[in-house]
Amino acid sequence: MNLIVNVDKNWAIGYKGKLLVSIPEDMKFFRSETTGKVVVLGRKTLATFPGGLPLKNRTNIILTRNEDFTVKDAVVCHSVEETLEELKKYPSEDIYIIGGDTIYRQFLPFCDVAHVTRTEHAYDADAWFPNLDEDPEWELTGQSEEKTYFDLEFTFCRYERKKKDF
């Protein structure tokens, strides 16, 4: 299972329900990685999408505690366990956890690959992603050259869960 996230230099991911920054090349990478795949997200993240609608050309799985919540063209689950059961229908490599912070924390233990866009700026934030550089279970296995969008520097990073030695 994969996750995909954009973090600032302090691993922050959002403020007042919005992304910290929108970088066209990052959005293009997100689309290329997730189109035709399965995305798992929370109800509050869904509400931030245009029209509050699921992403096109993907299987959207929405996690919410609200038993009455329904949304057209998406699967709604009400617990991590129910979501994991639903995800058994799909190849693990085709599943992407896309947020928000609570969903990332709940599903991080089930992920093996993290696609992290790191921006070299510290934003005001109220939502964070766990710092994978400080997590002994994860290692940085790939990194793009530094890129620039106006005056903002960013890097595409790939982290992988370390294989357990038995």
- Quick: pLDDT tens for 25-58: 999 999 999 999 999 999 999 999 999 999 999 9
pLDDT digits (tens, 9 = 90+) for 7-31: 999 999 999 999 999 999 999 999 9
Beta-strand ranges (E) seen in the chain are 2-7, 12-15, 18-19, 38-42, 59-63, 75-77, 95-99, 113-119, 127-128, 138-143, 147-149, 152-161
First to last CA, the chain: 22
Q: What CATH number is attached to the domain comprising 149? A: 3.40.430.10
Which structural domain range is residue 108 located in? 2-161
151 located within any domain: yes
Residue 40 belongs to some domain of the structure: yes
**Is 132 a member of any domain?**
yes
Domain-embedded: residue 166 = no
Q: What is the DSSP letter of 15?
A: E
123 located within any domain: yes
Q: Is residue 25 in a domain?
A: yes
Tally of domains within the chain: 1
pLDDT band for position 164 (50/70/90)? confident
